[in-house]
Structure 1
Amino acid sequence: MLVTKIGTNTSSPPALHQSVQYLKGVGPRRSEIYGKLGIHTIRDMLFYFPRDYKDRSRVQKISEARIGSEITIFGRVLGVQTRTARSRKNILEVFVGDGTGSIAATWFNQPFLAKKFHVGNRVLLHGKVGAYKYLQVLSPEYEIIQDEEMNVKDGGILPVYPLTEHMSQGHFRKIMKDAVCHFAGAVDEILPTEIIRKNQLLSLRDAIANIHFPETPELLKQARFRLVYDELFTLEVAMALRKRGIQAETGISFKIGANVDAHIRKLIPFPLTNAQERVIREITEDMRGSKPMNRLLQGDVGSGKTVVAMYAILAAIANGYQTALMAPTEILAKQHFQTIQKYLLHSHVRTHVLIGDTNLRQRKDTLDRIKTGQVDLVVGTHALIEETVQFHRLGLVVIDEQHKFGVVQRLNLKKKGGAPDVLIMTATPIPRTLSLTLFGDLDFSLLDEMPPGRSPVKTLWITKEKELGSYRFIHDEIVKGRQVFIVYPLVEESESFDLKAAVTEAKRLQSEVFPSHRVGLLHGQMKSSDKDKVMADFKEKKYDILVSTVIIEVGIDIPNATVMVIVHAERFGLSQLHQLRGRIGRGSEQSYCLLFGNPTSSVSNERLKIMAMTSDGFKIAEMDFRLRGPGEFFGTRQHGLPELRISDLIKDFPILKKARSDAFELVSKDPQLTMETHIRIRERVLETFKDRLELMNI
């Protein structure tokens, strides 16, 4: 077993922080190539994990080859020849023998491979057995074993690493084997003995040895479990510390009694759903407490998050505090402002909007009013976090579509009050796995009920040959008095992309396809005042069709719009498609989402199938997460989440739950991690989050 070869701490831990150049076979020049992989130290090397494995424990003899079956063989190259078939195909044959027989590895029209094979090479081949005049293995996977130490039969399962150019698997394995044998014993065990025993974990040194050079599939499984557990445990300890830190702050104890509740409800002109009532109770309980609220409110598009947020805002204002609502775009900020203004028509609440294009005189006046406490609610964009914005008495911060903001931006807004309550809203459904990691320090509220009178949007995938028929359908909807969104991925045509663009297509649709209807155009490069005018005109039905880019993804509420067409739908992510679809279905009429798409990859094909199949935001988010992974799904880095080296948040959810439970239990017993058995955990958290510690305070 490989682990028995490892010395017991033959090197002190500082040895792990030496440059990788000191490993035998690396040196200063080659260490620069290793640096491209993020490997700078010996420790980095040990924690650079394989992306796959080749199981050589099932190597067969050539004499056992059967036509039509798959085989893995190991032997030496006996000869190399190329020939041309009658069909003019170039055929390369590499003859391999293992002492029990010989076989030809055969490739068609790949003559360049001939240079790779030389008589005497040791090779590993895997492929399907065929026959010509002799046995063949057709277009096999192959590996030339240049490393004499690496005996195939002894090696069993061989690691495959993600490498860059000028690196070979064989040479990298040799360096890794040397690193594991000499330095794995120097890696400190960070977990307390009781956690290792409770979860029956492999020791860390054995896990490192077996993740790189596993003796058996079972040891590989145990090694991976241990390393995934460590990674997620560190993350969840950080979350537990963060949550504890928030709870240690003294917040505002808002008084929200029957009188305040009755005054707020008078301003809401419709009955709330059971889900809204439940969430309002959760928020009210937080706001009454002495600890700052730190709650994530998640609800699909149209589930009524704004009304819930408004309840919290009015409760804070009733207690004499100021409130701030930050939205990611000017369109959404204005939409929130207009919606809330309608509700507050018969109240004394003083509201202001603060966005990038507010003119200087208005801006100065608004800033003065905020500073002197003459504004109760300010709705804005990133403009709210500028240094010039100073609050008199900020008590509640509401952040909408929070994933559109960087972590630092959210922190800057929170800092403008002492310890204000924070309510984060999102219409982007978050898979449970992500909510436990990215938002594991937040309390969680879910609006899982839609207001009455809304029927689900019907979604249809429209291939190229059906587009003309769809235009006739759109025409019929407009004749009924309805309106239509048509969304394109680009503003203007680009030589780099063979895609239709909004500006060109708006002209074509107006002149060639819908000459009797009125077509408007909206995109992000327009002046803010022009965007506002187009939106107001569309709302007032001066346009039948609004051609747009994804600028309408959030914040546009047109109940009369019943059709959403998304052109080149295969170019959009699932969550984005779901958000766009959420712009319609806001009235009582049946709405339709038409996905114009001709996918060229299996992933984009899968996306369109999922969209047509379900309107469940959580299913869509889970699928999106599976297809894209955490980094792309949510811009994970901006959340202060370290890059995961080995964990898969979907596949490893059971391990995540164990690690989370253990981490929170440990932090509750030792909130400062000062016990001797927890010092190394503390160091690991500090090291993992070294440049994110302030970000952890969101």
Structure 2
Amino acid sequence: MSGRPEVLFPLFASLDSLPGIGPKLVRVFGQMEIGRPRDLLFTMPNAGVDRRCRPTVAGLTLPATVTTEVTVLRHLPNQAKGRPYRVSVSDSEMEFPLVFFHANLDWLQKKLPQGERRVISGRAELFDGTVQMAHPDYILTPEEALQLPRFEPVYPLTQGLAQKAMAKAIAAAVERAPELDDWLEAALLESMGWPRWHDAVTQVHAPDSAKDIKPNAPARQRLAYDEFLSHQVTLSLARSRRRSRKGRSSAATGRFQARVLEALPYRPTGAQERAMREISEDLADSARMNRLLQGDVGSGKTFVAFMSLLVAVEAGGQGVLMAPTEILARQHLEALKPLAEAARVVLETLTGRDKGKERSGKLAALRNGEIQILLGTHAVFQKDVEFRDLRLAIIDEQHRFGVAQRMELGKKGDTVDVLVMTATPIPRSLSLTHFGDLDMSV
């Protein structure tokens, strides 16, 4: 049973429920990852065209998009093959031609009957010093022109999708947007000068001028705030569910860690000690750990990771450190092998290069617990890779792995604790936004 309110069902219906959208357009919209009316609702214009009616094209800086009311003077058929068909029109001050290539004569006679008034809108330019407009975007009666927007939104497109088809589909989606009780406090809306949700959705698709499509336009700011708010609420719910899942305590004894610290020619930095303490406390807790370790290149993240893996070994289990490339995995091996020897724990690697008996031997040692710490690449994801008692999974350069891959690694053991690492500089505000479901050590 869906928890979605019934009033929102039309926005989550199939795209072909909108008028004028059939299987072909559904496939075209799919190229833009637009699959439901909801997606159209938040596909916002990235530009606009000024369609305000002007009395004349005279004196304007050309080329430019111009809308003006004209009288149709005469039709000038092409005199030779390949030459354009012209229709001479006049506005309040000057006469100029409308130019059509490969013209449909019957259609032109109906759209531009001689002696009638029409509102035309399109790109006017100078050709041999003469103003002309080729293939106007709009040819309307004065009555029809009342429906022409003063400022027409321009949407992103893809191959096979025309601007008019996109605008029509979005207009249909906007009509489905329900009037909802606003979830933002009235005081916040008033202080920020933001519209209510339904008004904001309507306004972003009906801009009055270029300033209404800028990121700081009130309607856009309001919808952007909603997006951040919903993201944070989602992360908060995810964190709440994660913390409610029962984990397994992996308490440190200090036995192996002490041997490594004694062998070091230096003391860990204060930041390293703090990060190790936070991770060790998480591992000892009964709730499952899901933590991000962030630090610049050379700040000692790999050492912190290794000391955390030793906590898992001290608790009687195993640990795995996942690297995105074989080169990085072997660099980790070179750096950590002396520390593993000092701690007297078994450290091994598993990459796509391991084949035959060598691979089989490593898999057997992993299953029976002889390998206590494994350094690996994507090869660790394979189904035949089994641990005797995996307690901690660490993922280096986490941004280079998908969420599904990280989750798959966490399934290699019973209630596995997860630590992800990154050296990519992330301002704290953005890190809280994007990794809000993770606890964080810096």
TM bracket (short chain): 0.7 to 0.9
Q: Post-superposition shift, 1:256?
A: 4.5
Deviations 1:356-390 (CA, angstroms, capped at 9, x unpaired) = 33343333333333223322211122232323233
Instruction: Return the match for 2:49 from 44, 49, 54.
Output: 54
Partner of 1:296: 292
Q: Post-superposition shift, 1:172?
A: 4.4
Gaps of 5+ in 1: 1-10, 84-89, 106-110, 447-698
Task: Decide whether the 8 Å contact of 2:66 with 2:124 is kept in 1.
Answer: no
Instruction: Return the match for 1:189 from 157, 180, 194.
Output: 180
Distance 1:318 1:31 in 2: 56
Partner of 2:261: 265
SS in 1 for 2:137: strand
Distance 1:258 1:176 in 2: 62
Is 1:203 equivalent to 2:193 in the alignment? no
Letter in 2 for 1:280: M
Letter in 2 for 1:403: H
Q: How does 1:109-124 map to 2 (within 5 A)?
A: 114-115=101-102, 120=112, 122-124=119-121
Distance change >3 Å, CA 32–CA 423, structure 1 → 2: closer
Q: How does 1:278-357 map to 2 (within 5 A)?
A: 278-357=274-353
SS in 1 for 2:312: helix
Distance 2:25 2:287 in 1: 54
Letter in 2 for 1:98: D
Gaps of 5+ in 2: 1-5, 113-117
SS in 1 for 2:247: coil
Distance 2:201 2:13 in 1: 18
Letter in 2 for 1:213: A
Task: Decide whether the 8 Å contact of 2:309 with 2:319 is kept in 1.
Answer: yes
Distance change >3 Å, CA 370–CA 191, structure 1 → 2: farther
SS in 2 for 1:53: strand
Task: Decide whether the 8 Å contact of 1:330 with 1:355 is kept in 2.
Answer: yes
Is 1:237 equivalent to 2:228 in the alignment? no
Is 1:213 equivalent to 2:203 in the alignment? no
SS in 2 for 1:373: coil
Task: Decide whether the 8 Å contact of 2:189 with 2:195 is kept in 1.
Answer: no
Distance 1:203 1:368 in 2: 62
Is 1:160 equivalent to 2:154 in the alignment? yes
Instruction: Return the match for 1:173 from 167, 176, 180.
Output: 167
Q: Post-superposition shift, 1:328?
A: 2.0
Instruction: Return the match for 1:377 from 370, 373, 377.
Output: 373
Q: Number of matched residues?
A: 414
Q: Post-superposition shift, 1:142?
A: 8.4
Q: How does 1:456-605 map to 2 (within 5 A)?
A: none
Distance 1:413 1:281 in 2: 24
Distance 2:441 2:259 in 1: 24
Partner of 2:3: none
Distance 2:185 2:330 in 1: 52
Distance 2:160 2:237 in 1: 43
Distance change >3 Å, CA 305–CA 358, structure 1 → 2: same
Distance change >3 Å, CA 82–CA 397, structure 1 → 2: farther
Distance 2:342 2:271 in 1: 26
Superposition RMSD in Å: 4.3
Deviations 1:71-129 (CA, angstroms, capped at 9, x unpaired) = 6531257689999xxxxxx9999976432445679xxxxx9x7457968474435678x
Select the structure of larger CA radius of gyration.
Answer: 2
Letter in 1 for 2:236: A
Task: Decide whether the 8 Å contact of 1:124 with 1:145 is kept in 2.
Answer: yes
Q: What TM-score do the two structures reach when normalised by structure 1? A: 0.50
Letter in 1 for 2:49: K
Distance 1:400 1:43 in 2: 36
Task: Decide whether the 8 Å contact of 2:40 with 2:169 is kept in 1.
Answer: no
Distance 1:147 1:19 in 2: 33
Distance 1:441 1:241 in 2: 9
Distance change >3 Å, CA 146–CA 267, structure 1 → 2: farther
Deviations 1:132-163 (CA, angstroms, capped at 9, x unpaired) = 766x48xx998511566763786222111233
Q: Post-superposition shift, 1:24?
A: 4.6
Q: What TM-score do the two structures reach when normalised by structure 2? A: 0.75
Distance 1:259 1:22 in 2: 65
Q: Post-superposition shift, 1:29?
A: 6.5
Task: Decide whether the 8 Å contact of 1:53 with 1:157 is kept in 2.
Answer: yes
Q: Post-superposition shift, 1:340?
A: 0.9
Deviations 1:602-629 (CA, angstroms, capped at 9, x unpaired) = xxxxxxxxxxxxxxxxxxxxxxxxxxxx
SS in 1 for 2:343: coil
Is 1:151 equivalent to 2:175 in the alignment? no
Percent sequence identity over aligned pairs:
34
Distance 1:216 1:92 in 2: 34
Task: Decide whether the 8 Å contact of 1:122 with 1:144 is kept in 2.
Answer: no
Distance 1:16 1:271 in 2: 59
Deviations 1:197-253 (CA, angstroms, capped at 9, x unpaired) = 534553333223222223566776333233323333333222222222222233344
Q: Post-superposition shift, 1:341?
A: 0.8
Distance change >3 Å, CA 133–CA 309, structure 1 → 2: closer
SS in 2 for 1:62: coil
Task: Decide whether the 8 Å contact of 2:66 with 2:123 is kept in 1.
Answer: yes
Distance change >3 Å, CA 239–CA 272, structure 1 → 2: same
SS in 2 for 1:384: helix
Distance 2:350 2:56 in 1: 76
Distance change >3 Å, CA 403–CA 141, structure 1 → 2: farther
Distance 2:338 2:420 in 1: 22
Q: Post-superposition shift, 1:434?
A: 5.7
Distance change >3 Å, CA 152–CA 71, structure 1 → 2: farther
Distance 1:47 1:20 in 2: 14
Task: Decide whether the 8 Å contact of 1:74 with 1:98 is kept in 2.
Answer: no
Task: Decide whether the 8 Å contact of 1:60 with 1:72 is kept in 2.
Answer: no
Q: Post-superposition shift, 1:271?
A: 3.8
Distance change >3 Å, CA 381–CA 43, structure 1 → 2: closer
Task: Decide whether the 8 Å contact of 1:147 with 1:170 is kept in 2.
Answer: no
Q: Post-superposition shift, 1:25?
A: 4.6
Distance 1:30 1:391 in 2: 49
Deviations 1:46-65 (CA, angstroms, capped at 9, x unpaired) = 444333222335x5443772
Task: Decide whether the 8 Å contact of 1:56 with 1:153 is kept in 2.
Answer: no
SS in 1 for 2:370: coil
Distance 2:311 2:171 in 1: 63
Distance 1:236 1:336 in 2: 35
Letter in 1 for 2:180: E
Task: Decide whether the 8 Å contact of 1:65 with 1:71 is kept in 2.
Answer: no
Distance change >3 Å, CA 314–CA 94, structure 1 → 2: farther
Distance change >3 Å, CA 183–CA 357, structure 1 → 2: closer
Task: Decide whether the 8 Å contact of 1:250 with 1:290 is kept in 2.
Answer: yes
Task: Decide whether the 8 Å contact of 1:74 with 1:124 is kept in 2.
Answer: yes
Distance change >3 Å, CA 15–CA 301, structure 1 → 2: closer
